[in-house]
Structure 1
Amino acid sequence: MTKTSYFPPMHRITFLVYPGFELLDTSGPVSVFNSANRALGLRDKPPFYAIDLVSAAGGQVTSSSGIAVHTQTFEERAHDAVDTFLIAGAESEHLLPVLADPALSAWVPEIAGKAQRFGSVCSGVIVLAKLGLVDGRRVATHWDACAPLAAGFPSVTVDPESLYVTDGQLWTSAGVTTGIDMALAMVAHDLSADIAGEVAQRLVLYARRPGYQSQFSPLLRAQVNADSPFAELIAWILANLDSPLDIPALADRTGFSERTFHRKFVAATGETPARFIETARLDAARLLICRGLSLKSVAAQVGLSPATRFSKAFERRFGVSPRLFREMHGEI
C-alpha cells in the first residue's frame, strides 16, 4: 500500500498590477514569500505560499521601470480562492486609468471581500479608497501620497508615519521597500517569527522593521542632505548608543567648535543633537523591548540607565510605558 503524504492547502497570494506599476511593490514582497517557501523546504516542509499576478487585460504588463511581468486576467482567476489580495502602487499618472476601469472596479471589491486579508503596497491604497473599501479604516501609504489621500477621502484615517498598518484583515504599507517589511510581518503571522527572521537574513536586510517605525529614520533624514558633514558621525552614534554622547565629545569628533557643531547639526538634521540622540535611543529601545529584553537591559544598551530614567523618557515620547508598549506590540 502506498503511503500518501499530506500537503496542507497553500496560501494563495494575488497581486493586482497594471501598466506603469512600481515593480518593487510586487517583486519585494514576492521575494519574501518565495524565501519563506525555501525556508520551509530546508525544514522538510511543503511550501506555504502560491503567488499569482493579475491584470485587467492579462498577458505582459510593463512596470514603470520598463520590466514586464506575465499576468492572468480576472476571468482566469475568477474560480480560484484568494487568501491574500494586494494592489501594487504607482505614480499618479499610472493610477488614473486604473481608477477609471469599470472591470477592475467590479472585480476588486469582490476579491477583497472574499480574501482572508487584503491591502496594498504604497499608493495602491488609493484604489481601495476610491472603491470605498477602506472607509473608516486606518491605512499607510507613501509619504508623498498621505496629504492627497487624506484630502480626497476624509473618511479614511491616514497614518503618515508608520511603515505599515494592520486594521483587521486590511494590511497597507508605505512606500516601495516597506512592502518587504509588511510581507515579513505576514510571514511571521502565518508561519513563525523564526522563519521571518531567516528570510530577512537571506535577503540581507539590515533589520526587520516593525510597522510603527517612522518612514523617516534619524539617519535617513541626515543623509538626505547631500552636503551634510554628519553622516559618518550619525552612523557612529547609532552604533554607540550606550556611550556618553555629550556635545563636547561629538564636536571634537567632527573638528568643529561646540557652537559651530550645534548650528551645523541642526541645519543638517532639523533637530538639536540632544533631541536627535534621544530619538535614536528610543527608536532602538522599541526594537529591543519587542525582542523580550528586560527594561534594565534595554536601558543599558541604549544609554538611558537607570531603568527609571529610561521609562520616564519613553513614556514622555510615546505616551505609553515600556511595559504597556511590549504588551501592545509583542515580539517582532
Structure 2
Amino acid sequence: MTKKVYFLPMPKHRIFILAYEGCQLLDVTGPAAVFGAANEGHGQDFYDLVIVSPGGGAVTSNCGVAIQSRKIGGQPDTLLVAGGSLGLKATMARDDLRRWLCSVAPKARRFGSVCTGAFVLAAAGLLDGKRVATHWAHCERLARKFPALEVDADSLYVVDGKVWTSAGVTTGIDMALALVEEDLGAATANLIARHFVLYARRPGYQSQFSPLLQAQTTAEAPFGKLIDWMQENLDQPLDVPTLAARAGLTERSFYRKFTEATGKTPAHFVEGLRLDAARTLLTRGLPIKTIAGKVGLTSPARLGQAFERRFGMAPSLFREMHRAA
C-alpha cells in the first residue's frame, strides 16, 4: 500500500506595523514594501502583513496621505511601531494602546520601532534596560525622558535581544532588510535591495553621521568636488599640500577654510573617510593588509591603531563580528 505524503503550507509570519494620526509615511510604507517584496521574491506569502492603528480605519500620515488600517487586536510575530511627530504625544498617552502593547510585545518573537516610534514603546515601559536607536534629532530627548534605557545615538539600527529599533525614515528599510535576512537568508534580502535599486545595504553599526554625507551637506565649493575625489582616491597621498593644490588654495588658507566648512581638520576628516571605508571592506572578508593598502593606511599596524582608537576594537575582531553572509 502506497503511503500518501501531505505537505502542509509554511505557516505565515504575522507582522503588525502600528500607524496613527500624523505618523511618518515612510516609517510605515518602507518596511511594508520590504516585507511585500520578500513575499514576491520567496515565491509564497511568508509574511502576513497588517497595518494596525488604535482606532482602525484610515489614518492620515504626516504628509497627508491616508493609510488604511485594522484596529489593534490579535497577536503578531513581529511588531513595529512607526515614528511620527504630529500625533506622537497623543499616541503615547493612550491607555488602550499601552495595554495592548504590554500584552502582545512580550509574546512576540520580535518587536521594535522605526524612528520616534521608540517613544511609544518606551512610554509603555517596554524598552527599560535596552539599548535602542532613534532619529539623531530626538536622541537627547529620548534619553532624558526615559533614563531606564540606553540610547545609541550613532547606529542606523540596534538589535538588543528581541528588540529591534532604527534611527528613522530610510533606516526602517535597512532594518526591515535585516529582519528578512534573519528569516529568509541573505540572498533574499540582497535580491530585494537590488530590486529597490539601493546603492548598498547598510549594516546597523553604520553611523547616522557619515563624514562624507555631512561634508556634502555643509561644505561649499570648491570642497564638494574635492571631497568626492578624496573618497575615490583613499589610497593616494591626501596631505594638506596635495589637497590645497587641488583646491587652488595656499596651504594655510586651505587648512582654515576646510576646517571651517567641515568642522574637522583635514587630517581628522581624511582618517574618518579611510576608517569608514575600512569598516565596509572588513565585512567582505578581505585580508587586513589588502584593506590597509586600499584605504591609504599603508600597513596593518597603522590601520589597527587607528581603527581601535576610533571603534574600540581590533579590525580582526570587527571582521569576525560583521562578516557578510
Does the TM-score normalized on the shorter chain lie above 0.5?
A: yes
Which residue of structure 1 aligns with residue 77 of structure 2?
A: 83
Q: What is the Cα deviation at residue 6 of structure 1?
A: 4.1
Aligned to 1:30: 32
SS for the counterpart of 1:118 is strand
Q: Is the 8 A contact 1:12 1:52 kept in 2?
A: yes
Partner of 1:48: 46
One-letter amino acid of the structure 2 residue matched with residue 69 of structure 1 = I
Name 1:239's counterpart in structure 2: 232
Provide the residue aligned with 1:172 in structure 2.
165
* Alignment partner, residue 63 of structure 2: 65
Identity %: 54
Letter in 1 for 2:208: Q
Return the alpha-carbon distance in structure 1 between the equivalents of residues 160 and 179 of structure 2: 13
Counterparts of residues 148-227 of structure 1 (less than 5 Å): 148-225=141-218, 227=220
Deviations 1:116-173 (A, max 9, x none): 0000000000011111101111100011111111111111101111111110000000
Give unpaired runs (5+ residues) of structure 2: none
Query: How far, CA to CA, are the matches of 2:278 and 2:234 in structure 1?
Result: 10
Q: After TM superposition, list the pairs within 5 Å mapping 1:1-332 onto structure 2.
A: 6-41=8-43, 46-74=44-72, 77-78=73-74, 81-91=75-85, 93-225=86-218, 227=220, 229-331=222-324
Shift in Å, 1:305: 2.3
Q: 1:71 aligns to what SS in structure 2?
A: strand
CA deviations over 1:220-259 (Å, ceiling 9, x no partner): 2112326453222212211222222222222222222221
Q: Which amino acid aligns with 1:53?
A: I
Shift of residue 4, structure 1, vs aligned partner: 5.5
TM-score (norm 2): 0.94
Secondary structure at the aligned position of 1:21 is classed as coil
Runs of 4+ in 1 over 3 A off after TM superposition: 1-6, 226-229
> TM-score scaled by structure 1?
0.92
CA-CA distance at 1:40 after TM superposition? 1.8
- DSSP 3-state at the match of 2:310: helix
Residue 28 of structure 1, CA deviation: 1.1
Deviates more, 1:321-330 or 1:107-116: 321-330
Check whether the contact 2:219–2:261 (CA below 8 A) recurs between aligned residues: no
